[in-house]
Structure 1
Amino acid sequence: MPNIKSAIKRVKKNETLNAQNTKAKSAMRTAVKKADTAALNNDENAKELIKTAIQQVEKAASKGLIHKNAASRKKSQLMKKA
């Protein structure tokens, strides 16, 4: 644990931001998996789930959680399944 006050604040801030990033990335992955399974099973709400998954992917890319090319690839794969 750091002794300097600003370093202590930085550690706390990093933990908070890390938790937020982990939560957002996990939500994105969950949305993508739900959309994948819905598309494979030809569910009624597959298009809605794919739409929300694409939104989550775009949001993660805009925040820098995933690379923009990775986001583009994920969106393309989802659109193929739709």
Structure 2
Amino acid sequence: MANIKSAKKRILVTQTKTMRNKMIKSRVKTEIKKVLGAIAANDQAAAQAQLLVAVSEIDKAKSKGIFHKNTAARRVARLTKAVNKMAAE
């Protein structure tokens, strides 16, 4: 355990930021699962609606520095491709 005041503060700040990052990543994963669930159920309207929500959450995570911009772009591209593929079929 840290004895120095600044080290104790760093531990608290790190815990706070870790929890925030986990919450946001969890929210992104949940929205992605909802899109994939709509695709699996062949519900095109729900998939399109959920895609917008998922893209919004991914962009928020990117803007907060939780995802790298290329990671966010890759996830959005793959989700969009899956939804568009379902729409084409």
Instruction: Tell whether the structures are fold-level matches, with TM greater than 0.5.
Output: yes
- For 1:19-58, list aligned pairs within 5 A: 19-43=19-43, 44-58=45-59
- For 1:61-72, list aligned pairs within 5 A: 61-72=62-73
In 2: Cα distance, 1:77 partner to 1:37 partner: 15
Partner residue, 2:17: 17
- Tell me the SS of whatever aligns to 1:45: helix
Which stretches of structure 1, 4 residues or more, deviate above 2 A after TM superposition? none
Considering only aligned residues, what root-mean-square deviation do their CA atoms show, in Å?
Answer: 1.2
Consecutive unaligned residues in structure 1, runs of 5 or more = none
Aligned length: 82
Provide TM-score, normalisation by structure 1: 0.90
> For each residue in 1:1-55, what CA deviation from the matched residue of structure 2 results, as whole angstroms up to 9, or x when unmatched?
1111111111111101100100100110111111112123222422111100011
In 2: Cα distance, 1:39 partner to 1:16 partner: 35
Q: Provide the identity percentage.
A: 39
Partner residue, 2:5: 5
Are 1:31 and 1:49, in contact at CA under 8 Å, matched by a contact in 2? yes
The one-letter amino acid paired with 2:21 is N
Consecutive unaligned residues in structure 2, runs of 5 or more = 84-89
In 1: Cα distance, 2:37 partner to 2:70 partner: 23
